[in-house]
Homo-oligomer: A and B are copies of this chain.
């Protein structure tokens, strides 16, 4: 029997418990697949005296990171603390000491990926982070291995479970954003401060990670255009349905002739799109490659056991690579530096909802304003609200962002237009 591969676990929160349980419950199979037992030999916690939700030998617990960093027997460090500090320092120290690192920390990878990969390369070790995007759904390894022969053209994903749950509620029940948020809080899907979720920042971090791998070019969270779902109303949801769309918060990354575009925003997608049926807290990532065509990866995007599943699998790979003396077998793939596409050049269709005066000629003046900036209209719905005011909903053809914004400014200035209530991008690609 091979000597066990020893790992240090940083953090025993939700994901840490999941990893610990999986390694314990599926130990026999994991041992056979790796070729040696994989053993959590030390666990870093803030308070070693605290009562734990998982049964764990007290002697394994420590509140001193050096007990793990200085232990030469520990070959792999599993970081599931989250956040930048102190996780980043711990991980860098582990890599520098030649320990492979497995992490589920999207904040850290999306911001410090380059630095971390450099440290992993210097240490000659693995840096694996499947758990950082879309919980248990395999997507990073599929991109790095299974689809590696493709030139990836598009990555488009529902990568935030909280907002997908909220939009699902709003779509099914016609309720408001506030009501859906309250519901998500009660179910434990939304945190006390839901900003990172509802404002799209969480999705932007994950998209930065996916896009970096898909396009072989480093993209950080700062490169991502971000819009959250806070402006989505029950009315927009209802119009989406009437027009045969659903609204999803999508992370969209595309490689185009003008550069790479990376954006997170609420999006109209056709009801027949594979992503349209992804509901509740489920995540899914749609990927188009030049050879494989359209693929999609679907599953639970968060949680103790799903994310634990991804982290445990990475740990198995890191352990196997150590056993065979090939740590770092598959490492950073950001070989290129591709330009970002300027936001004004990004093309999309747009849904626009306007409050206008209900009199002849108003629609013509709006159409004229759009036309003036070369924005042509695909469909227009005029809804009478009372004798004096009307609501107009229109969908444009594909147009550059700059032209659309210019046209919108013209429309806003029309005397017959009271308000631009909302505009939402429309993605037709299947």
Which A residues have a C-beta under 8 Å from some C-beta of B? 18, 22-23, 25-26, 29-30, 32-33, 130, 136-138, 141-142, 145-151, 216, 274, 277, 289-300, 303, 305-306, 308-310, 312-313, 315-317, 320, 324, 326, 329-330, 333, 335
Contacts and interface: CB of A to CB of B under 8 A. Distances in A.
9 contacts: A25-B290, A26-B291, A29-B151, A136-B291, A145-B313, A147-B309, A149-B308, A149-B315, A326-B326
Contacts of A329: 320, 324, 326
A180 to B, nearest CB: 20
Given A25-B151, A291-B308, A296-B299, 4 more contacts: A293-B303, A295-B297, A295-B299, A297-B297
A29 B255 CA distance: 15
Contact of A313 (B146, B277, B308, B326): B146
A208 B326 CA distance: 32
Contacts of A291: 18, 22, 26, 136, 305-306, 308-309, 312
Contacts of A315: 149
Contact of A326 (B130, B292, B298, B324): B324
A300 B309 contact: no
Contacts of A289: 136, 309
Contact of A136 (B29, B292, B300): B292
Nearest to A140: B146
Contacts of A277: 274, 277
A147 B151 contact: no
Contacts of A216: 29, 32
Closest CB pairs A-B (n = 8): A138-B146, A149-B312, A295-B299, A136-B292, A291-B309, A296-B298, A292-B309, A138-B142
Given A30-B149, A326-B326, A136 B312 contact: no
Given A136-B293, A297-B295, A299-B296, A26 B309 contact: no
B136 A142 contact: no
B295 A149 contact: no
Contacts of A303: 293
A34 to B, nearest CB: 8
Copies in the complex: 2
Contacts of A32: 216, 333, 335
Contacts of A309: 147, 149-150, 289, 291-292
Contact of A293 (B151, B294, B299): B299
A296 B142 CA distance: 13
A299 B30 CA distance: 29
Contact of A274 (B29, B30, B298): B298
A317 B148 CA distance: 9
Contact of A306 (B26, B142, B293, B312): B293
Given A32-B335, A274-B277, A291-B312, A22 B149 contact: yes
Given A291-B18, A295-B298, A316 B33 contact: no
A207 B336 CA distance: 40
Contacts of A306: 291-293
A325 to B, nearest CB: 8
Contacts of A138: 138, 142, 145-147, 295
Nearest to A320: B329
A138 to B, nearest CB: 3
Contacts of A141: 141-142, 145-146
Contacts of A330: 320
B305 A294 contact: no
Contacts of A317: 145
Nearest to A138: B146
Contacts of A312: 149, 291
Contacts of A310: 146, 292
Contacts of A305: 290-293
